[in-house]
Amino acid sequence: MSTDVITLSGLRVHGRHGVFDHEREAGQDFIVDVALATSTAKAAATDDLQHTVDYGTLADTLADIVSGEPCNLIETLAERLAAACLEDGRVERARVTVHKPQAPIAQRFTDVSVTIERSRER
């Protein structure tokens, strides 16, 4: 398995995920971080984008998922995002964190997040 990692941090997207009606109606910002285990050797040797993960395209794909079909739990959202990351055949493993800094919690807090790690099945 490769030791190279491509990281996209702080992708902020408005979504309508949550179990409460007001979360679905008004929505809120979610912040996504992904770390992708992949080999960057061929891309580095050729200096060619086609041999690596295009993080601009990946950001668009992840944003579409976050702004798309709502789910109750950020755990479900994280699974959807990880699956999208693994669709790129070059990605061996994806670590995804979904932050919900405006979660409906009565106490003062900075952030709520869920982190999952998924690997490509071989």
In angstroms, the CA 46 to CA 50 distance is 9
76, 100, 101, 106: the catalytic one is 100
Residue 91 burial (C-beta neighbours within 10 Å; 0-12, 13-18, 19+): buried
pLDDT digits (tens, 9 = 90+) for 61-88: 999 999 999 999 999 999 999 999 999 9
β-sheet with 5-15: strand ranges across: 5-15, 28-37, 93-99, 113-119
Number of Cβ within 10 Å of residue 90's Cβ equals 17
Closest by CA position to 100, among listed 62, 54, 66: 66
pLDDT digits (tens, 9 = 90+) for 39-49: 999 999 999 99
Q: What is the pTM of this model?
A: 0.94
The fold of the 5-119 domain, in CATH, is GTP Cyclohydrolase I, domain 2 (3.30.1130)
Does 42 participate in catalysis according to the annotation?
A: no
